Structure 1
Amino acid sequence: MSIVKRNNDLRPFYSSLLDDFIWPYGETTEQRRLPALNVKENEKTLTLELQVPGMNKDDIKLEYKDGYLTISCEKREEKEEKDKDQKFLRKEFSSVSFHRTVELPEDKYNVGKAEASYKDGILEITMPKNEEKSKISRTIQVK
């Protein structure tokens, strides 16, 4: 049995085949659970937009280490209804979490000056790009 590495997780090959058979729209189970990601880049900045509706900004965690930005979120909810005798009629709880990692090389992006905002279910992370150093080209004489 061969092993396929997907989303930081080792899974048997047949498992991904089953995913593709059940969900034939080109996405794996892991991809359906990840928030949509837009990447915008111009000469001066890089902007990442993630669609994470229903979260609070306190549920979102951003960590940068060794050239990788990890965006994670965890939200837990518990709801309950009781009758007049304080007996449970209904109790529900849910948990939603994800993590997504994006490579951001330190020589290209200034992550130290990154800013993040969350509004209307969209997490936006913007950071300036580092200036590209011009490549030196010259002829060296042999003496």
Structure 2
Amino acid sequence: MSTLAKRNYGTLNNLFEEVFGGFPAGNFAKELHVPAVNVKENKEAFELEVAAPGLQKQDFKLNVEDNLLTISYEKQTTAEQKSEDTKIHRQEFSTRSFKRTFTLDEKIDADKIVAKYENGILSVSLPKKEEVKISPKAIEIL
């Protein structure tokens, strides 16, 4: 089984195990207040989809260092939120900061990682290096 990354919370477990079995990723994400992540693979790249509705793209940070991809979010406070003209009677929703770290597999070309935020989903494309892309090939029968 190929691996994209490993979860970095104490012990390192295979990301695909987290998403597809073994560890209940959805409940784990809720308990830690981190968004859920979908992982997809095609012949060109791995794709991460981070569920982050209602957030602002300028508050996201993505970094790659020492073969670790870190996706973090920290809400910047604005003067509008601290207005003395408005009295808040009840505040039931808030945005919390989060940080997720993934160990990148040697098959990923870290220099070509791209991300976009659209419709509440942060999409991160992790292209595979040229030598590991699987191309269809016909095999001649002798």
Q: TM-score w.r.t. structure 1 length?
A: 0.61
User: Residue 36 of structure 2 aligns with which residue?
Assistant: 36
Give the C-alpha shift of residue 29 in structure 1.
7.5
What are the within-5 Å matches in structure 2 for residues 1-143 of structure 1? Answer: 7=9, 27-28=27-28, 31-77=31-77, 78-80=81-83, 82=85, 89-90=87-88, 96-105=96-105, 107-130=106-129, 131-132=131-132
Q: Taking structure 1 as reference, are residues 129 and 31 closer, same or farther at Cα in structure 2, changes over 3 Å only?
A: farther
Give the C-alpha shift of residue 28 in structure 1.
4.5
The structure richer in helix per residue is: 2
Unaligned regions of 5+ residues in structure 1, if any? 1-5, 9-25, 83-87, 134-143
Is residue 59–residue 76 contact of structure 2 (8 Å, CA) maintained in 1?
A: no
CA distance in 1, matches of 2:45, 2:101: 19
- Structure number with greater Rg is 1
Q: Taking structure 1 as reference, are residues 30 and 44 closer, same or farther at Cα in structure 2, changes over 3 Å only?
A: same
Unaligned regions of 5+ residues in structure 2, if any? 1-7, 11-25, 134-142
The structure richer in strand per residue is: 1
Task: Report the residue type matching 1:110 in the other structure.
Answer: D
The secondary structure found in structure 1 opposite 2:108 is coil
CA distance in 1, matches of 2:45, 2:76: 34
4+ runs deviating over 6 angstroms = none
Is residue 48–residue 125 contact of structure 1 (8 Å, CA) maintained in 2?
A: yes
Give the C-alpha shift of residue 35 in structure 1.
0.4
CA distance in 1, matches of 2:38, 2:113: 16
Task: Report the residue type matching 2:128 in the other structure.
Answer: K
CA distance in 2, matches of 1:36, 1:99: 12
Comparing both chains, which one has the higher relative contact order based on Cα–Cα distances under 8 Å and sequence gaps of 6 or more? 2
Q: TM-score w.r.t. structure 2 length?
A: 0.62
**What is the total number of aligned residue pairs between the two structures?**
105
Alpha carbon RMSD of aligned pairs, Å?
Answer: 2.9
Is residue 33–residue 96 contact of structure 2 (8 Å, CA) maintained in 1?
A: no
CA distance in 1, matches of 2:31, 2:110: 26
User: Residue 23 of structure 1 aligns with which residue?
Assistant: none
